[in-house]
Each structure stands twice: as C-alpha cells, then as structure tokens.
Amino acid sequence: MQKDDEHAMAENVNVCSECAFDSFLGEQIRLKGSAVVCGLCNSTRTCSPLSEIVTCVEDALGKHVCVGTHRHVGGDGDFFVTHGDNIEHWIISMFGCSASEPIVGAVCSNLTSFRRDDEYLKRSSTHDHIGLKWGEFEEGVKHGSRFFNQQAREYLDWLFEGLHKYSEESEALSVVRVLTPENAPPIYRARTCMTSSSVDEISADPATKLAAPPKALAGEGRMNPNGVPAFYGAFKRITCVAELRPPVGGTVVSGEFRLNKSVSVLDFERFENADLGLEPSVFDPDYFRKSGRREFLKYLHDKITAPVLPGSERNYLVSQFIAEYLATCVEPRIDGVIFKSVQDPSGSNITLFSHVVCVETALQWEFDGSHGVRGPRQSDPPRIAYVNASLVQHSIKAVEYRPIDKALSERAQGCESI
C-alpha cells in the first residue's frame, strides 16, 4: 500500500530542470516538459513528472551498478558478505549534488527496483565494449588487413577526435606540443656497440651514425616498420641508455641532438590525463562511448609503451599503425610522439617520424625490362641535428632488476611425486 501511495505521489509531483541538477537531464526536461509548479522548490518552471525522472534513474542505475554481494566459503560453510555503497550514494553521484537536495530523497523514496538497505557496486563490465573495439582493432592490424583497414582507420578517427583542441588554452597542458629550437630541451640518442670498431665508427662520424638510419637500412621499431626511418631519442642520457637494455660489460655511445626547426608532437603522458571537458551525464544514452574513451586513453599509453621481447616484434604492429596514422591522417600533421620510458620511470622518450628526420633520395625503378632513375625531390633538411663535442661512451658495469614476485604452485608433468 505504501508503494502505491509513493507511486501516486511521483505521478503528481513535478520536478523542474533546476532541481534535477544534471545538465543533460535538465535539458531533456526543458525540451519535453511543460510549465507547472515544481513540487521540490515551488517555482513555476518547465517541469517533468517525478515518475519519469525515477524511470530514467532506474534505467541508468541498471546499467551502472549491481548488488555487491560476494560469496565466501569458510569452515562453517558458505556465507555472504555485502560490499559497496547504499543506493543514496549512487543517486547523489548521478545528480552531482549534496545529500540534502530534495531530488535525492524524492527519487530514493520512489525507486521500485533498488532497495535502500542494499549495497551496490559499479558494474565491472561498464567499458567492455570499449575493450572489444580495441581487441577488434588489434586483431585486424595483426592478423587481418593492415594497409587497407577501414575499420581500424575509423577506430583511430574516434580515438583521436579533436586531438589538437585538448587543453589548447594552456601551452603547459596542451596534448599536441610544439617544440621549437628555443623551447625544446636537449634530446639524446644512443647506440649499443659490441666491438671497439663500432665505437670508432660512431666517433668518426657521430652526426651520421647516431642520426636516423637511411631508408635502405631502417629496421622496424616501436613506431616504424622496416624501411621507414624514425628518430628514437630521450630527454635524458640515462634514459636513452636504459632503453637499449645493454648487457653488463657492454658499451653504449650517446650523443646530444637539438632541433633546428619546430615540430608538433603528441605527448601521450599529457594525453592520458587530458581535459576532455565536462564528464558525460549518466543519463546520456551515449554515456558509455564517451566515458569509455576517457578510460581507454589511460590504458593506451601503457599499451604502446609495453616492452616487446626479442622474437615478438609482431607486437609492434599496433603502435606502428598508430604512428603511421598520426603522421599521415591527422591535420595539422603530427611530427612525432612523446611517451614514458618503461626502463627509466622518471624519463620520457621521443620519436620523430620519417618526414622530419629524412631527406628525399633518388628513386629507381624497373618496369617491363626498362630501368629508370629520378633525382631526389626537393625536401627540407632533417629538423634535428647532432651537437658537436657531445659524444659520451658508457661502459655498463651493472644492471638493476626489479622483478614482481608471486608464488607459483608446483605441478608435476608426466610423473607423480614420490
């Protein structure tokens, strides 16, 4: 009987856009409501019935939360422990207001699918569809069509939409950073030398030997496929040495480089914390797509910087595809990326793409038994250059390991323990 009375009250009470607090819900009230007296503030404004708002809340709650009951098995048998927050907590979070606001009590009193004495947790599957999209992207790039993959292109269009606008009002927070010869810090690049003759080669011509390799010699890396050069550097010497993972007893030679022309680089460290504007409303039907994108940006940085073991270079395909997209499909053009170092937690790496670190070379071709040569097209010189007298030789005396240990159960294979 009490529920019937509460439902009748919800039908008779109207709520204005101001008392609804949530901007998306308020806009829906203004678009679809009518001018009546608000039952919460007694003002005459555009309102919607409380019952409609309760329906919206229950629909959103059903997508976002579940009863936080966990089963435990103990010596005295199974028992259940409830974890989470009461429904009032989630209502307050949805409306973005304090517990004292009338809308909180009005909605809580009229819920039919959620109990006030239960505790609720956020559903773990909230962003599953975002993970699925990433999984489809990885699968397509690694095992499907890499070079003409429209689905992958559309996915990256969505992921990097509005890239140049993020935090553009503040240079200190801008996701796309413009590094100039005046404001860019020194950039260091290093090579592992297995023999003394390798050291001699670099010291004889460091500007060439430490620069990005020519196209014919360019091997694949995290951000480039075979044959497409890229410049890999770091903002500290120790970082670029650590990134090479040299063996104890090995030798590394590093040099300093400076920009001689401006470059636009995507800073993934800033990107994962980018200000994407106001949090989307949980009442927005597009909420999961919008909020999932925010969540995924944090995951993406870890994904593209994960170490790749020798023999597993195929795992570079995804980061290579992303780099190629940034270099060719984004306007204004992206010249490189900055990302965190896995080997040096306090350091950052920078990769500059082929079009800013290479000069055009002559083109040779063979067709139907004939040969042709075209001279190199006019192009700008590389935008980064070696700094004379900056060469340093590093002898690796020790390497620090930081393992993460966990207990491993022992399982006999093919025989029984005696």
pLDDT band at 4 (very low <50, low <70, confident <90, very high): very low
| The one-letter amino acid at 391 | L
E strand intervals along 244-335: 251-259, 263-267
CB atoms within 10 A of CB 366: 8
Q: Give the separation between CA 116 and CA 108, rounded to whole angstroms.
A: 7
The pTM for the full model equals 0.73
- Residue 170: phi and psi, rounded to 5, are -130, 115
pLDDT in tens, 211-269: 999 888 888 899 998 889 999 999 999 999 999 999 999 999 999 999 999 999 999 98
> At residue 17, what are phi and psi to the nearest 5 degrees?
-65, -30
- What does DSSP say about strands 263-267 and 336-340: parallel, antiparallel, or unpaired? parallel
Cα distances (Å, whole numbers) of residue 51 to 56, 112, 242: 9, 11, 62
E-strand stretches of 271-347: 336-340
- What tens digit of pLDDT does each residue of 289-340 get? 777 777 777 778 888 888 777 777 778 888 999 999 999 999 999 999 999 9
Q: Considering only CA atoms, give the Rg of the chain.
A: 29
Q: How far is CA 230 from CA 56, 128, 240, 266, 337, in A?
A: 52, 34, 15, 15, 11
* Residue indicated by tokens 């070379």: 361
Nearest residue to 268 via CA among 238, 300, 294: 300
C-alpha distances (whole Å) from 389 to each of 206, 258, 298, 384 are 9, 13, 40, 16
Residue 395 confidence (pLDDT): 95
